[in-house]
Amino acid sequence: MRRRIGSGAFATVWLAHDEHLDSPVAIKVLADNWTGDLHIRQRFVEEGRFLRKVESPHVVSVYDAGELDDERPFLVMAYADQGTLADRLELGRLSQAQALTVVDQVGRGLTALHERGVLHRDVKPANVLFRTVGTASGEQVIAMLGDLGLGKAMDMSSRLTMVGGTPTYVAPEQARGEGLDARADQFSLAALAHYLLAGRQPFAHSSLSAAEDPDPPPPMGIGNADAEAVVLRALAKDRDDRFDDVASFTAALVDAMGGELDASPQAWVPVDPDLTRTEPGTGATAPTSPDTPAARRRWPALVAAALVLLLGAGAGWSLERASTATRTVADDTGTIKVTVPESWTAQVDPEQWVPVEGEQSQPSLAAGSREGWNTEEGAAPGVFVGILPSDKLPSRVPQHAECVDAPGGLIRDERNGDRSMTMIFSGCPGADYMVERVVQVNASQLLWVQVRSDNRATANTVLDSVATSGI
């Protein structure tokens, strides 16, 4: 085990080196706070099951799966050493040839899933991964689909009870909770194609309900009427007006654009050279299949042992440095606690506040990297958490015109009976990311969280650490 490379609301991903494969792998472990949630656990396990069904260079491979002693499931997966499409787009737009290559390769991954009877249901930039592979002509970077947390077998599509997806990319029938087929993924891929080719998203839906009946997207303005017609057909509101399958859509798009694929995508990356490799193995042992009994037996023990070493008192320098660089702060009443980077505690305000909507003081907590961190003039990383009196969620979260984009739109969720709304803004002054979250914590109170951070990983970690008591 080398280091942690990412964490989110449901799982943590670790970078490791597989001595049998003599290559880096990613180990995805379900977050411990979700171990007892059977629904989340099932989604995690199903992701591994779906991915193991498919053999395609454009779908992330799962080499092994298992369970730790504390009953947390884990997946051993191919390591996407070049980051995500979302990472790449933060650096600027792709060329049309690069964009077409990504759409074509993601389409190949979707086709492989569909041929094995699996829908992805959440195609978006954050779920498109880049990986370096060796070819006869040298190393090349390819795109592949990951994160099948919303994936579903096609023969179960008529019995879906959970509406999922990202509002900006979701097909209307999926937003309405109807039975799905492969044309729902085709719609999402077309929305991605529109974004990559035109430089803007075809829709600005703030919620899944808004995506149920979308207006026609605006003209793409790419100077290619044939290609635009292909994308708009795949974005048809009525699925019967779309292409028969994803392969037909991508073939038509490639043809309309003159077959202009980028044969040398290695020029796109690395996004961050420090994240591209683990230390190489000795090469003395020939690689063996990860499905051998020996390989399957060793992963649970290695994962558990590595997590103990990395997270326990004897943690290595990199994670020990990370653990000592955080601090838990609380408000004056002890109602709110949050763990933040130590650099965010230059200004801590634990006193109560009076919300605009209320008349009485409520618990609140603010911590930032400098004085005035939450002002327009002095914007900097920090977090604010406050209680609001209300018996229902608002219709929207605060908007931020000063930020460049809100790529995922408004995300509605429900966990353990607590309904929430989250919106992530990017390209914000003073801190690249701004996250607004509102949670209905009881019948008469809301929890409002605002995080400003230089990166998504830190923002997610801070969000996940927010805790309340006595309400």
Give the chain as a 3 state SS string.
CCEEEEECCCEEEEEEEECCCCEEEEEEEECHHHCCCHHHHHHHHHHHHHHHCCCCCCECCEEEEEECCCCCEEEEEECCCCCEHHHHHHCCCCCHHHHHHHHHHHHHHHHHHHHCCEECCCCCHHHEEEEEEEECCEEEEEEEECCCCCCEEHHHHHHCCCCCCCCCCCCHHHHCCCCCCHHHHHHHHHHHHHHHHHCCCCCCCCCCHHHHCCCCCCCCCCCCHHHHHHHHHHCCCCHHHCCCCHHHHHHHHHHHCCCCCCCCHHHHCCCCHHHCCCCCCCCCCCCCCCCCHHHHHHHHHHHHHHHHHHHCCCCCHHHHHHHHCEEEEECCCCCEEEEEEHHHHCEEECCCECCCCCCCCECEEEEECCCCCCCCCCCCCEEEEEEEECCCCCCCCCCCCCCCECCCCCEEEEECCEEEEEEEEECCCCCCEEEEEEEEEECCEEEEEEEEECCHHHHHHHHHHCEECCC
Domain match, 206 and 259 both = yes
**pLDDT for res 262:** 66
- Two structure tokens written together for 66: 């298992």
Reply yes or no on whether the pLDDT at 13 is more than 50: yes
Tokens 């997207």 belong to which residue?
Answer: 217
Whether pLDDT at 3 is above 80: no
Range 461-467 average pLDDT: 87
- Note the pLDDT of residue 312: 43
77-91, 298-312, 429-443: which has the minimum mean pLDDT?
298-312
User: 128 and 199: one domain?
Assistant: yes
Same domain, yes or no, for 307 and 340? no
Residue 322: predicted pLDDT: 38
Verify that 385 and 408 share a domain, yes or no. Answer: yes
- What per-residue confidence (pLDDT) applies to 270? 45
User: Do 90 and 237 belong together in one domain?
Assistant: yes
CA angle, residues 313, 314, 318, in degrees to nearest 5? 105
Q: What is the mean pLDDT of residues 259-268?
A: 61
CB 436 within 8 A of CB 423: yes
Are 350 and 385 contacting, i.e. CB atoms less than 8 angstroms apart?
no
**For residue 158, what are its two tokens?**
């008529």
Cβ-contact 118, 54 below 8 angstroms: yes
- Residues 452 and 435: their CA atoms lie apart, in Å, by 7
Of residues 452 and 269, more confidence is placed in 452
Whether 372 and 258 map to the same domain: the answer is: no
Could you say which of 226, 251, 268 is where a domain stops?
268
**How many C-beta atoms surround the C-beta of residue 218 within 10 A?**
11
Tell whether 396 and 285 lie within a shared domain: no
Q: Which of 225, 248, 268 is the last residue of a domain?
A: 268
Q: Which of the four pLDDT bands, split at 50, 70 and 90, describes residue 329? A: very high
Q: Are 10 and 30 in contact (CB under 8 A)?
A: yes
- The predicted-structure confidence for 173-206, as pLDDT tens digits, reads as follows 988 888 889 999 999 999 999 999 999 999 988 7
Rounded to whole angstroms, how far apart are CA atoms 442 and 58? 44
| Whether pLDDT at 282 is above 50 | no
Residue range of the domain that includes 50 = 3-80+276-321
Q: Residues 423, 410: contact at Cβ < 8 Å? A: yes
Query: Do 16 and 24 form a contact (C-beta atoms < 8 A)?
Result: yes
Residue 463 binned pLDDT confidence (cut-offs 50, 70, 90): confident
What confidence category does residue 458 fall into, taking pLDDT thresholds of 50, 70 and 90? confident
Which has more confidence, 48 or 163? 48
Mean pLDDT of 23-48: 79
Indicate whether 257 and 116 sit together in one domain.
yes
Catalytically active residues, by annotation: 122
Question: What is the rounded average pLDDT of the residues 303-330?
Answer: 52
What is the domain-level CATH number for residue 48?
A: 3.30.200.20
Q: Which of 65-69, 222-226, 298-302 has the lowest mean pLDDT?
A: 298-302
What is the C-alpha to C-alpha distance for residues 201 and 407, in angstroms, rounded to an integer?
8
395: number of Cβ within 10 Å = 9
Highest mean pLDDT among 37-46, 330-339, 407-416 belongs to: 330-339
| Maximum mean pLDDT: which of 143-157, 243-257, 314-328 | 243-257
Boundary (domain end) residue, out of 229, 247, 268: 268
Q: Considering the chain, what percentage of its residues have pLDDT values greater than 90?
A: 30
Which pLDDT value is given to residue 172? 93
d(CA 302, CA 13): 15
Using 50, 70 and 90 to split pLDDT, how confident is the model at 121?
confident
The domain that holds 151 is classified in CATH as 1.10.510.10
Average pLDDT over residues 449-469: 87
Tens-digit pLDDT profile for residues 153-180: 444 333 333 445 678 899 999 888 888 8
Average pLDDT of the chain is: 79
Q: What is the pLDDT of residues 216-251, one digit of tens each?
A: 998 999 999 999 999 999 999 999 999 999 999 999
Rounded-to-integer distance, Cα 450 and Cα 299, Å: 38
Cα–Cα dist 139/26, whole Å = 20
- pLDDT over 60 (residue 275): no
Q: Does 295 have pLDDT greater than 50?
A: no
Residues 248 and 133 in one domain: yes
Total domains in the fold of the chain = 3
**CA pair distance 446, 149, nearest whole angstrom:** 28
Report whether pLDDT(318) > 60: no
> Do 381 and 317 share a domain, yes or no?
no
Is residue 172 within 8 Å of residue 163, measured between CB atoms? no
The predicted pLDDT at position 471 comes to: 81
Q: What pLDDT, on the 0 to 100 scale, is given for residue 450?
A: 94
Query: Do 91 and 240 lie in a common domain?
Result: yes
Residues 161 and 295 in one domain: no
CATH value at residue 358: 3.40.1000
